[in-house]
Amino acid sequence: MFYLIAFIFGSIWGSFSNVCIHRIPDDISVVTGRSHCPSCKAQIKWHDNIPLFSYLFLNAKCRHCSTKIDVKYFLVELVSAISFVVIFHFFGVSLTTLLFFILSISFVIIFFIDFKHFIIPNELTYPLMIIGLLKSFDPNLNTTLFPNLVSSLAGGFFGYTIIWLIIFIYKKIRNKEGMGLGDAKLLSAIGFWFGWMSIPFIIFFSSIAALISVIPDLITNKKKLSSQIPFGPFIIIGTLIFLFSNDYIKIFLN
């Protein structure tokens, strides 16, 4: 029953994530105004806006104009629902679960916005920084995952500085921007959450994931090494790899 509740709760927040993904890049409020079809502008009624089920029931088409609904909407809701179930499975009813719920939804929104628009909104990274720092004042949190206050502060500083240095050096050498400060803010937020020691591993995993994703396009000459790619999604992937391999990393370090 609790797993089902987590799944439903996650899908609902996934539906809200879709609103954020669609509206934040255009600077539109995410809390006012009814959802509508991007094609015919008809308002979407509540029974056509049930997470996951409405997409399947409508056969992925708008009820009014029959325009195909982007599968991204279904995917966001499904990923959010599954992530909530996985988080609940590992941490049960706890503050750690609530924190990871917040982080997972933020990651989903950032992933899809940056992937399409090449931006990482401050509306998401700044709150993540604040939450990442404030949670360090609670001595009862899971210390195997979350750092103490000093490590959290160092992580926030280190995460931002290392991306800033990459941007600075690349610009000096190539005379153009290589990355954006949104990436620096995102990595800083992650540093606040998981401490300074997480940063080298996350950068390594992120870079490997990014390289693997572009190799096919490099081989077929669809992209060049200088081509722009959104790095935020790979930072998120790198963070997930770090979290799932955290125990093995600690064994390796010890």
DSSP state of 43: B
* CA distance linking residue 252 with residue 249, whole number of Å: 5
List of residues 6+ apart from 2 with CB closer than 8 A: 88, 93
DSSP state of 68: B
CA distances 46 to 79, 86, 133, 208, Å, are: 21, 28, 38, 42
Rounded to two decimals, the pTM is: 0.91
* CA distance linking residue 207 with residue 185, whole number of Å: 17
* CA distance linking residue 73 with residue 208, whole number of Å: 28
Terminal CA-to-CA distance of the chain, rounded, Å?
40
Q: Which mean pLDDT values do the consecutive 10-residue runs of the chain (254 residues) have?
A: 93 95 90 76 79 88 83 95 96 94 97 94 96 91 87 96 90 75 95 95 94 84 73 96 84 65
Q: How far is CA 60 from the centre of its chain?
A: 25
Contact 155, 147 (CB under 8 A): yes
Task: State the alpha helices, DSSP H only, in the chain.
Answer: 2-23, 53-57, 71-91, 95-117, 122-134, 149-174, 181-194, 198-219, 232-244, 246-253
List of residues 6+ apart from 84 with CB closer than 8 A: 6, 7, 9, 10, 13, 101, 104
Number of residues written out for the chain: 254
Contact 184, 167 (CB under 8 A): yes
Task: Find tokens 């720092």 and name the residue.
Answer: 133
DSSP state of 14: H
Give the tokens for residue 186.
Answer: 């995102």
DSSP state of 13: H
* CA distance linking residue 239 with residue 201, whole number of Å: 8
Contact 58, 86 (CB under 8 A): no
* CA distance linking residue 80 with residue 95, whole number of Å: 18
The pLDDT of residue 253 is 65
The pLDDT of residue 188 is 97
Contact 95, 138 (CB under 8 A): yes
